[in-house]
Amino acid sequence: MASVRSITQQLAGMDVAPKPAPSAPTRPAHAKQPSQQNVAKLLTKFAAPNPMGKAPSSSSSSLRPPNTNTNPNPGAAAAPGEGRTPAADPIGALDIGRYDGGFEQDNEKRGEKVYGEAAEELALDSSVSRYVHPTREWNLGTFDIGKPLGKGKFGRVYMVRTKGEPNYVLALKTLYKSEIVASRVEKQIRREIEIQQNLRHPNVLRLYGYFHDEKRIFLMLEFAGKGELYKQLSKHGCFSDKRSARYIDQMADALSYLHSKHVIHRDIKPENLLLGINGELKIGDFGWSVHAPGNRRMTMCGTLDYLPPEMVEQKEHNEKVDYWALGVLTYEFLIGNPPFEDRSGVNATYRRIAKVDLKIPPHVSPDARDLIIKLLKYNPEHRIPLKDVANHPWITKYRPKGLSRGGSDAY
């Protein structure tokens, strides 16, 4: 799709505001967006460095947790380096399923070697990364490969387990370098690593390491045991107040964290959210995120239905774009489709967004309605701050006892 490519190129070139994409289709309710996603998804879930913050020695691999349990997410998936003992880890015992030989089949058919500058750009290896504290060295032989989890535009994703103790279960994602080069997103991948390398939050999908061979890049991702949230939404049509409130609680917490790191996500939507083994929400895609300390951006990006008025009108924007998207998400969870969707075309959707033409069905509870209205304000400065979202009655009402904030157990 030309419009997506142009947006992507402008993103890569860091920010000249393009015109809205008039030919881009609006998103049917719960249909996964293929095109723009293909670009964004590639950049997902990148590097979480060795959390111990130092180069591993032979007796202490980066996968080996420190003695204290620093994982703020007590029920979460096995987390290399997150301070969990394998025996205590519920996911360690998981059956990783049967490997179908897909990596080899793929490698035969697709992908050529990449040379020159692009090869340098894509020589991504967390053991020698200039950005992060190095992790231990990885290669395909480190893992027992299990069942396929899915296919992305640039390669497949498999469930894997490290061969050596403590047998961590991960999602291993391949990206074919030649296809990345053909799509001209090499630089974005590197940038994505820069953005994600230090992100640690129970509701943000981790990437524990990455390595490459001549044709491919491999990403060692946190395994999201319950898969994609949008599939759940498609299955159920919409979510209950309780389920929606708990997801929004976790989202608000994760976004507060990202904003504290000067990361604006800019592409919050159900398709970019995964679910952990306990059903906890994981922001799993940083394709459109931008690292902007004190900086206001003027780039058109994101999914149409989730775009805030300031982006539709091509004005400068800041982290409050994510507040707006949280409002849209709340609405979509509860009602089943985004609030400004207009099947008659993109421009109609834009108009509805710019007018904040918001119609909340009568069955929506007063508290939920109140929060949606407070998030979907035309003026970004008037949107309810995330810390107030966390204290909103609709959120606190459904928060599990004992949790003082969103956290990872709230699902």
Residues known to be catalytic: 267
**Residues 304-323 as x/- pattern, contact with ligand AMP by CB under 6 A:** --------------------
Smallest distance, Å, CB 94 to ligand AMP? Answer: 12
Q: Enumerate the known binding-site residues.
A: 153, 173, 222-224, 271-272, 285
**Residues 42-61 as x/- pattern, contact with ligand AMP by CB under 6 A:** --x-----------------
Q: What is the DSSP letter of 88?
A: G
Between 151 and 343, name the residue whose CB sits nearer to ligand AMP: 151
Q: Say how many residues touch ligand AMP, by CB under 6 A.
A: 17
Instruction: Based on the shown chain and the rule CB under 6 A, indicate whether residue 268 belongs to the binding site for ligand AMP.
Output: no
Instruction: Based on the shown chain and the rule CB under 6 A, indicate whether residue 210 belongs to the binding site for ligand AMP.
Output: no
Q: What is the DSSP letter of 31?
A: -
**Burial of residue 123 (number of CB atoms within 10 Å: 0-12, 13-18, 19+):** middle
Between 274 and 389, name the residue whose CB sits nearer to ligand AMP: 274
Instruction: Based on the shown chain and the rule CB under 6 A, indicate whether residue 171 belongs to the binding site for ligand AMP.
Output: yes
CA-based nearest residue to 179, from 365, 41, 296? 41
First to last CA, the chain: 36
Task: Give the one residue of 227, 385, 393, 400 binding ligand AMP; rule: CB under 6 A.
Answer: 227
Smallest distance, Å, CB 154 to ligand AMP? Answer: 7
Q: What is the DSSP letter of 22?
A: T
Structural tokens at position 86: 């394998």
Between 90 and 152, name the residue whose CB sits nearer to ligand AMP: 152
Structural tokens at position 287: 């394709």
**Long-range contacts of range 102-106, CB-CB < 8 Å, 24 or more positions apart?**
102/148, 102/156, 102/158, 103/140, 103/145, 103/156, 103/158, 103/174, 106/155, 106/156, 106/174, 106/176
Structural tokens at position 290: 């931008």
Cα 156 to Cα 174: distance, rounded to the nearest angstrom: 6
Which residue number has the CB closest to ligand AMP? 152
Task: Give the one residue of 13, 22, 34, 150 binding ligand AMP; rule: CB under 6 A.
Answer: 150
CA-based nearest residue to 92, from 79, 81, 102? 79
Smallest distance, Å, CB 387 to ligand AMP? Answer: 29
Instruction: Based on the shown chain and the rule CB under 6 A, indicate whether residue 152 belongs to the binding site for ligand AMP.
Output: yes
Using CA atoms, how far residue 384 sits from 322, 357, 360, 389, in Å, is: 11, 18, 18, 7
Instruction: Based on the shown chain and the rule CB under 6 A, indicate whether residue 94 belongs to the binding site for ligand AMP.
Output: no
Stretch that binds ligand AMP, among 64-72, 222-230, 350-358, 395-403 (CB under 6 A): 222-230
Cα 407 to Cα 12: distance, rounded to the nearest angstrom: 33
Smallest distance, Å, CB 41 to ligand AMP? Answer: 4
Instruction: Based on the shown chain and the rule CB under 6 A, indicate whether residue 224 belongs to the binding site for ligand AMP.
Output: yes
Smallest distance, Å, CB 92 to ligand AMP? Answer: 16
Residue numbers of the site for ligand AMP (CB under 6 A)?
41, 44, 149-152, 157, 171, 173, 205, 221-224, 227-228, 274
